[in-house]
Amino acid sequence: MYKKIFLSLILLILSITGVSAQINTDRVMNIGRNALYFEDYILSIQYFNQVIKVKPYLADPYFYRAVAKLSLEDYKGAEEDCDKCIERNPFIIGAYQVRGIARQNLGNYQGAIDDYNEGLKYAPEDRTFLGNKAIAEVQLKKYDDAEASFAELIKKHPSYYNAYLSRSQFWLEKKDTLKALADMDKAIELDKHLSYAYAQRAIIKFQYGKDYQSALDDMNQALKLDPNMTSYYLNRGIIRYYMDDLRGTMDDYDRVIELDANNLMAHYNRGLLRMQVGERNKAIEDFSFVLKYEPDNFFAIYNRAILYDQLGNYRAAIRDYDKVLAHYPDFSSGYFARSEAKRKINDTAGGEKDYKKAIALYEQQKKTGIGLGKHSGGDDEEDTQTAEDNDKTRKESDKNINKFDRLLVADNTDIKSKYKDEIRGRVQDKNIKIEIEPSFVFSYYEKEDKVRSNVRYSKELDELNRTGILPMKLLITNSEVSLTTDQIEKHFNSLNDYSKLIEINPQNPVPYFCRALDYMLVQDFASSIEDLNRVIMLSDNFMFAYFNRAAVRFKQIEYNMSSEAATQSDLSITSPASGFSAPKPLPGMEMGTSMAPGKQSKALSMEYEMVLRDYDKVIEMSPTFVYAYFNRANVRCAQKDFRAALTDYNEAIRLKPDFADAYFNRGLVYVFLGETQKGIDDLSKAGELGIVSSYNIIKRLSD
């Protein structure tokens, strides 16, 4: 999930609405916005609830809470909060956009259009309003209106690649593949680094043009740009299958399972392929894996039954045949198969009975021409020998058991599902944004990374954890995770507990440090910094307090700078400008959050200086603590002092030669400074160490 989701939309309100009268309300609102910016949606909702309880007449908290609910896909709740926001202040333009997106996801397309039209009165050039309105018109099958809206969008934003991507789906809805391909080509012309565009064009060529080689070329390009996208491997596997490249197909399914061990479609299809090449035991493993999560997947059960039968495990085969035939009592092939299995265990009577049943069903099928083997409660759709029936694949929604030996594919998504991600207001995220790996912080939690190991060793941290003074094991991480509801409650309770301990003994620095961690986790940065200040006053040699104070203060700077950028931008949901362009332009590349050199305010410069002083202190106390050098380099990048940043990244890599994040960030700095080959070398090393996005950037640099 991208950090700056809905940022401009969220923060636009700051420049429109007034300031609340009570300082406490301001503080709670600000903490809630912090949590929203850092994607702690559940936590942010709790803060906005507090404001609403005290001041239910304010529009702002309803708006912010609606954004949080939208991010959590609580569309009804988001719509209701926008209603309340607009009742209190009808001039908050963002509320119409959020409510429109919520209504669109709820299927109220006309209501969404009404909201977008209202927003366009105030922001007639806004591309998100225009684009989402066009999509809603498609969903209502108002094709003439949609075509006009897309035309207006492209006229006003001719370089907006996503307008062409969206319109290409509209042309597919109208069965005009030539125009769909033309728009897809235009999107790629505008930005040749869009993996999504290549993947979509591959599907169009595959499904509509049967141009398998060209489709494969596009899917290969998509994977070069985004080598960690499981859906691309699944689709390429199908294309290769149609090209009779079984080994290539198998490789793609292996890769999907490597990236996503629980991908059931990949396991099912790999099981079918293993059946075809005679790897029966391995195929059984795949089908059994699917059945672990989908015990009523009768296609997997039937294929496993065939495999058991082939391996001579007839009783296991019969048990599986029984389950399938109980669900598909008209499946003639199933009775034939079970009759043979019964004969092999000397159940002659049972085998004869199944055989007669199979013959009767087969004769009935020949006489009526109606396909058998459908779900017993299903429709009577004719199973004629159409081109589709002779296909090599089966859609997920197709429950005709006669297609048990076909590869499984996702249903052909209609225009609604293709647009689902786009109408969440996150269209800008389809263009991969290039930004440095974030700074490290001490925390109790971190996100799991399936590619890279998240174990970060630090002698100092290990020693601290061994003391047992902290309630949980402390980690050093730059992959923070949003708290669950239970965790939020736990840390709010912890805040109260540590406050009581501080009252008992205000000279003990430990409760202050623990409470500072709790404040940081609930996104109350100001209170966290206050407690860390107190820790340092009481124990000025406590390295961890200096480190976290710098990290939290840097978070606060990041949020404040993004707030300023958002209030100066238009309504369109985009990330704030980074304030520079690289010698070799890379779309979306960001190296820092600050303004250009010479334009920083004195207050901002002072904030950065305080962060740097804390890292200097950490390095003075622990000169081998590699993460202090890394974080200090990130601050230098934010200040656009890239030569100083290089010095720190160099030292971090010297101390930790397998430091992937440092290689990645140093590579981006080299690229920005025009030393492209050095940058590519570092990015290659970062990719080798597990940062997959490095390869996407290398590809861009090499084009």
User: From CA 450, how far away is CA 479, in angstroms rounded?
Assistant: 12
Average confidence (pLDDT) over 397-411: 89
Q: Which residues, including other chains, have CB under 8 Å from residue 413's CB and lie 6 or more apart?
A: none
* Residue 275: strand, helix, or coil: helix
Q: Which residues, including other chains, have CB under 8 Å from residue 40's CB and lie 6 or more apart?
A: 482, 483, 523
Average confidence (pLDDT) over 238-253: 94
Task: Dump pLDDT digits (tens) for 303-314.
Answer: 999 999 999 999
Average confidence (pLDDT) over 173-186: 91
Average confidence (pLDDT) over 630-642: 93
Give the position of tokens 């209504």: 103
pTM for this predicted structure: 0.65
Residue 110's pLDDT is 96
Residue % of the chain over a pLDDT of 70: 83
Residue % of the chain over a pLDDT of 90: 58
Residue 372's pLDDT is 53
Residue 602's pLDDT is 80
User: From CA 584, how far away is CA 701, in angstroms rounded?
Assistant: 8
* Confidence category of residue 449, pLDDT binned at 50, 70, 90: low
Residue 450's pLDDT is 54
Task: Dump pLDDT digits (tens) for 488-522.
Answer: 889 989 999 999 999 999 999 999 999 999 999 98
Torsion region of 640: left, alpha or beta (phi above 0 gives left; psi -120 to 50 gives alpha) = left
User: From CA 308, how far away is CA 329, in angstroms rounded?
Assistant: 21
* Confidence category of residue 569, pLDDT binned at 50, 70, 90: very low
Q: Is the pLDDT of residue 609 over 80?
A: yes
Residue 431's pLDDT is 41
User: From CA 655, how far away is CA 619, in angstroms rounded?
Assistant: 13
User: From CA 683, how far away is CA 691, in angstroms rounded?
Assistant: 9
What the block records as the tokens of 386 is 């159409």
What phi, psi does 342 have (nearest 5°)? -65, -40
